[in-house]
Structure 1
Amino acid sequence: MTSGQETSATGEYGTTAPAVPPEQSEREDELVRRVLSSFDGCTDRRLRQLMQALVRHLHAFLREVRLTEDEWGKAIEFLTAVGDITDARRQEFVLLSDTLGASMQTITMNNEAHGDATEATVFGPFFVNGSPEIDRGGDISFGASGEPCWVEGTVTDTAGRPLAGALIEVWEADADGLYDVQYGDGRTAGRAHLYTDREGGYRFWGITPTPYPIPHDGPVGSMLNAVGRSPMRASHLHFMVTHGGHRTLVTHIFVRGDHYLDSDSVFGVKQSLVKDFKQQNAGTPTPDGRDLGQQSWSKVRFDIVLAPEGR
Structure 2
Amino acid sequence: MARSASPFTGVRRAALVLSFCATALTPALAQTPAPAPAPAPAQAPAKATNKVLATVNGSDITELDVAQAREDVGSTLPKQMNDAARDKALLDYVIDLKLVTQKAITEKMDQTPDFQKKMIYYREKLLMEGYLGQVAKDSTTDAAMKATYDEAAKAQKPEIEIHALHILVPTEDEAKTVEKRLKAGEDFGKLADELSKDPGSKGGDLGWFTKDRMVPEFADAAYKLEPGQVSDPVKTQFGWHVIKVLDKRTKPFPPMDQVKDQLERFVAQRAQSEAILKLREAAKITRTDEPKADEAKPDAAKPAEAPKK
| Interval containing the TM-score (normalised by the shorter chain) | under 0.3
- TM-score (ref. length: structure 2): 0.21
Q: Which structure shows the bigger proportion of residues in strand conformation?
A: 1
> Larger relative contact order (C-alpha < 8 A, sep ≥ 6)?
2
> Rg: which structure is higher?
2
